[in-house]
Chains A and B, each alone.
Chain A
Amino acid sequence: MKPFAHFNATSMDEAVEILGRYGGRAAVIAGGTDLLGRMKDLVLPSYPEALVNIKTIPGLDAVGEDRGYLKIGALTRLSALASHPAVRAEYSALAEAADRTASPHLRNLGTIGGNLCQDIRCWYYRGPNNRFSCLRKGGGRCYALKGDNRFHSIFGASVEQGCVAVHPSDTAPVLIALDAEVETSKRTMKVMDLFTVRPLRTTVLDQDEILTGVRIPVPSPGTKGAFLKFAQRKSIDFPIVNCAAMLTFDEGVVKEARICLNAVYVTPRRAYAAERALAGRFLDEETAAEAAREAIADARPLQHNAYMVQVARTLVKRALLACGGQGE
């Protein structure tokens, strides 16, 4: 890799101060599993002058209950999250999502914070040596729109930008379905609000703002969750489509539904129409199928990814049925 300066931050203040000093020309490194790959490939038009290691800041990898929330430090490794007894017991969908991410080795390095903040996946965007200086990098156009878009957005481009690259996180849709929030060095916000679609930005974080953790409200009684991932290979691969669902039942009737897809759009995508279709109804094959249809009713596939619509529909249906205790 090209050289860069490196700082092992010992406190959040120190990390923020260094980031501020570099004015956007430094990057935070946590697990490094996304960042280092991008640096090796010289994907972006500019290369970080400095990396600020936040793994040396104590206290950012704790998992524990705290006043009605499960709090997860941003530096919690995905493997630790997947095997944590409290997470497996009470938030099994999250444990499943963490456990399905990447590979065992990468789960030992990657963190929940990094999984949320990771960059988009698009083979034009990620072409080595910035081969395609695309819209998302401040360039003129999106190459995937008319190109090979077999893994890209099935819900069109974002409103502000014409980018169709997908967000690949497996944990994000579960956290959104759990109505979780992220805590940063500056503020707290819903997980869904963390994401944005701007040139060189996938999150709303300021240049000197760092994710510190996630907090999940304890689900109401009668809530069941599920997470499903569809990929080509059964390990290592990013999702082609994934889906998280949290259903709260009251005497068999769905009182509340939160359904979130990812890898199908530029940010994680709540299936509001599907949630509305389920509210107040019993969950069975028919209602699940109807909700699934609603989830993809507004899909606008590109030339090569129409199949993803069918996959998304299937995953929504199966995730819902899994919440109801019925197998795939």
Chain B
Amino acid sequence: MAKSGDISMFTCPYCSTQRENFEALREHILADHKGSLLPEPANRIRLLINGLEHAMNVEPEWTLYHLIHDRLGMTGSKQFCDRGACGSCTVIMDGLPVLSCMVLAIECDGRTIETVEGVARAGHPLIESYVKHHAMQCGYCTPGFVVTSKALLDRNPDPTEGEIREALSGNLCRCGTYPQHIVAVREAARTLLKEKEDSGGER
């Protein structure tokens, strides 16, 4: 794949080898890369978001948040601080909760992303338990909490109160709903464990 910033006009886009002139380059490509698909530009990325494939060209300075929220219209993830200090923009990337405002989209080629929309569409019990236990007020930080909690339950299906606090310790809530999150996450965990029991094993 071509490296962006190369000065030479006679660089092979497939293998980056250099030739002296256009004719030589053309000969090389026909000989060695016949049948290959056209190479993609360096800023074309592929993402799996909530189970759906996305392929798009991105600008280097786009954060993952900007891509998801502004360009793809998935407005569930929120921007509270835009500096990595609040957790409201959390998405799950390759199984880990990360701050989408502190990740460059162009560095996410090939990644698997889950956003709050995906968590909700999958019918995760966290959504219902959050509603039931009023684990929200203004709701602006709530998607960040839901996604972070989902990532927690994925890796730790039976977390203690302390473990829930630790996992959510990077999520700020100005309305002060913290106590309700503990209750909501515990209940969702119980629901999932019971579902697993009832289905006799792997979910």
Contacts and interface: CB of A to CB of B under 8 A. Distances in A.
| A/B: CB atoms within 8 Å of each other | yes
Interface of A: 1-8, 14, 18, 21, 29, 32-33, 36-37, 40-41, 50-51, 53, 55-56, 79, 102-106, 108-109, 234-236
A33 B82 CA distance: 11
B153 to A, nearest CB: 14
Specify the main secondary structure of chain B where it touches its partner: loop
Given A104-B170, A105-B87, 12 more contacts: A1-B61, A4-B61, A6-B107, A8-B109, A37-B83, A51-B60, A51-B104, A103-B87, A104-B97, A105-B90, A106-B102, A106-B170
B170 A109 contact: no
A5 B42 CA distance: 11
B63 to A, nearest CB: 8
Give the residue among B60, B63, B102 with the most A Cβ atoms within 10 A: B102
Contact of B42 (A1, A8, A33, A104): A8
A235 B169 contact: yes
B20 interface: no
B51 to A, nearest CB: 21
Interface in B74-115: 82-85, 87, 90, 96-99, 102-104, 106-107, 109
Contact of B169 (A21, A53, A234): A234
Contacts of B43: 6
Contacts of A1: 61, 63
A6 B106 CA distance: 8
B45 to A, nearest CB: 10
Specify the main secondary structure of chain A where it touches its partner: mixed
Contacts of B104: 6, 29, 32, 36, 51, 53
Contact of A32 (B3, B103, B167): B103
Contacts of B87: 103, 105
A103 B148 CA distance: 12
